[in-house]
Structure formats: structure tokens, C-alpha cells
Structure 1
């Protein structure tokens, strides 16, 4: 039997698996009330990443603590690429378009 994150080959047959949260990447949007700014990023461990932002462990976001999670979007692919592509698209939106996206 050969295992991979999204499928198992057993006895020459390929079985697809529902991806576990362990393999999921998230694109997320944070908001800082003190700076009145949004921060966009992606991560595999959303809880840990939010804690690092709010503990001042990230240089870019340390001045805006506390950060509030506004939105998280799971990308059910076992690679970081899908989350990074969405993050890049969100970073290219102006504030009005980003807020309209969050409200949808």
C-alpha cells in the first residue's frame, strides 16, 4: 500500500481520500483596530499563526496588536500554492474592494 495526502493505492486500485484539516492551508485576513489596517497571509496552522501575530513574534504585525481574525478561507489542496495565489490576489485589492469581499 502506498500512501499520499490525497489518495491511497491499494492492490492496484486508486482510492481518493477526503483531505484532513492537517493537510489544509488557509488564506486569512486580520484587522488591527489600533492601526485601522488589514493584513493578509496564508498558513497551515491558523491558530498558531494568529497567536504569533498577537504575541508580537511577527515583525510586520507587532505594531498593530491585537489582531482580529476577519476571515479565513480553507484551501483543500495539499500544497501551499493555492493559498499563496489567493493571498496575492487579496493583497492586490484596494481597501474598499477587500472590505466588499469580506462582507460577501
Structure 2
């Protein structure tokens, strides 16, 4: 399967701000990281630059979105902090 056939849930870590993380979902991880680092995402612009801390690839976009939603919840953030 080509990489574009997958959906990625990713966690970014800022290299300029201690403890700044961002969780998102995309079909093109490289392009999305570039957009974050260019300042094209308002939520992440002031903590640039970013690196990918964790990326998980899903075949099913619905499962990816559900996992992203979970990681953005309180228990999901605790899970990510402990495991990623």
C-alpha cells in the first residue's frame, strides 16, 4: 500500500519549549510536519520547531480519528505521557 493510503496519528514535541506537545491526524506526515514548522498551524506556530515524537499508522481512517480523540482526552494524555 502506498503511504498515502494510511492515516497517521502523530504526537509532536517542540524543541524550543519545554513540555510542549501537539497531537494530530494526517494522511501525509511529512507535509503536515512541514506545515507546523512553517507556522501554518496557528495552535503550534509559537512553539516551533517541532519534531515527530510518535507516529502510528492506521489503515482505517475512522480508527485513526478515534485514537486521536482518545489521546486528546485526559486519560489519553496520561497514556501518551507514560508510553510515548
Query: TM-score of the superposition, structure 1-length normalised?
Result: 0.71
The 5-angstrom pairing of residues 21-60 of structure 1 reads 21-35=3-17, 36-60=19-43
Question: Is residue 2:60 matched to residue 1:73?
Answer: no
Question: Is residue 2:63 matched to residue 1:90?
Answer: no
Task: Looking at secondary structure, tell me which structure has more strand per residue.
Answer: 1
| Runs of 5+ consecutive residues of structure 1 not aligned to the other structure | 1-18
| Runs of 5+ consecutive residues of structure 2 not aligned to the other structure | none
Q: Aligned in 2, Cα 1:82/1:96: closer, same or farther, shift over 3 Å? A: closer
Aligned pairs, number = 82
Task: Measure how far apart 1:83 and its partner are.
Answer: 1.2
Local SS of the residue matching 1:42: strand
Give the CA RMSD over aligned residues: 1.6
Task: Looking at secondary structure, tell me which structure has more helix per residue.
Answer: 2
Alpha-carbon displacement from aligned partner over 1:6-36 (angstroms, at most 9, x marks no partner)? xxxxxxxxxxxxx432210000000113332
Q: Of the two structures, which has the highest relative contact order with CA contacts closer than 8 Å and spacing of 6 or more?
A: 2
Q: Which has the larger radius of gyration?
A: 1
Q: Which residue of 1 aligns with 2:81?
A: 99
Q: Aligned in 2, Cα 1:37/1:20: closer, same or farther, shift over 3 Å? A: same
Divergent runs of 4+, >4 A: none
2:7 and 2:78 map into 1 onto residues whose CA distance is 26
Question: Is residue 2:61 matched to residue 1:61?
Answer: no
